Structure 1
């Protein structure tokens, strides 16, 4: 039974205007129109939104990685829920939508990273059965 009050919408150039009304906290910064255009122009960038009464209350952005030497994988780049909409299952419903689309696309591996102290995110990911692996992250500056 689905008693959630929001719907999940995959964004492309035809429906991007839904991003005109976004709850605080969904994105790290304000959306820049030129950056949005560039993002949506790439078919390997996926963006799912949780929309409630015309307001975007959650987002999940992913990037499809095609490799010459291994199977295609999906990088879950960002997931965010509005400040007043957390702990309601919004992020879980976005993850479920990503899993379904990845299945449809024949993608068998999804990977992501989060900070060790991001307990809510780690809880969300571990509910899927994912196990954290030791890793190093480098931020290159030039």
Structure 2
């Protein structure tokens, strides 16, 4: 396995290259082969407890955490966020708008009341083809990396979007972000190196 895989949770979906990710089906395994199937779930299926993964090299213990699909009313979960989960402080007004939008999705990794990771996406609906998921952001605490958190969150976001009718998911990252590229390639995506990015200031 490439050495870049040693720290996959620093991978972020920001950047300028498009790749298609087929949302995984049935039992899903991370690129290390660890099963990401939930140990337990609430009746609504919104919370999944994961843990007990074999520790990676140099780690003596594995970590247990919960993956939660965020919805309106979950604002209180953002009161205790670990460092590096988001790029900047969360603004309450923007958070309320995000959680109330049916096309915006976010899953969080929680451990003992602390948000240690988040993965966000947007569902794009079309009139001439099936809806697709754009993975907009992926971040985890610097203190909780190399524990499978990023893989678990992305897997849950794929599952959720599939339930809502999406047939494909896509994201982008920088050319030189080898850690991110190694991480995403573990999900067997179709890669497209022909896309040119344009940003318009409004």
Is TM (by shorter chain) over 0.5? yes
Q: TM-score w.r.t. structure 1 length?
A: 0.94
Give the equivalent residue in structure 2 for 1:115.
Answer: 174
CA positional deviation for 1:120: 2.0
State whether structure 2 residue 95 is matched by structure 1 residue 95: no
Radius of gyration: which is bigger? 2
Q: Secondary structure at the match of 1:63?
A: strand
Q: Is the 8 A contact 2:123 2:161 kept in 1?
A: no
- C-alpha separation in 1, matches of 2:110 and 2:177: 24
State the Cα distance separating 1:124 from its structure 2 match.
Answer: 1.6
**Alpha-carbon shift at residue 87 of structure 1 (Å):** 1.6
In structure 1, the residue matched to 2:132 is: 73
Runs of 4+ residues over 6 Å off in structure 1: none
Rounded Cα–Cα distance in structure 2 between residues aligned with 1:17 and 1:122: 33
Instruction: Please tell me the root mean square deviation across aligned C-alpha atoms, in Å.
Output: 1.3
* Structure 1 residues 89-140: Cα deviation after superposition (integer angstroms, max 9, x where no partner): 1100001101211222221100001111222221221000013211211111
Corresponding residue for residue 141 of structure 1: 201
**How big is the shift at 1:6?**
0.5
Determine which structure has the larger helix proportion and give its number: 1
CA distance in 2, matches of 1:131, 1:109: 10
User: Unaligned stretches of 5+ in structure 1?
Assistant: none
1:53-87: CA deviation from partner (whole Å, max 9, x where unpaired): 11111100000110111110010000001111112
Aligned residues: 142
Q: Distance between the aligned counterparts of 1:127 and 1:121, measured in 2? A: 10
Q: In structure 2, what is the Cα distance between the partners aligned to 1:19 and 1:117?
A: 31
Could you report, residue by residue, the CA deviation over 1:6-32 in whole angstroms, capped at 9, with x for unpaired residues?
000111122221111111000010000
Specify the SS of the correspondent of 1:25.
coil
Instruction: Give 2:88's aligned residue.
Output: 29
Q: TM-score, length-normalised on structure 2?
A: 0.67
> Distance in 2 between the 1:119 and 1:79 partners?
15
Q: 1:85 aligns to what?
A: 144
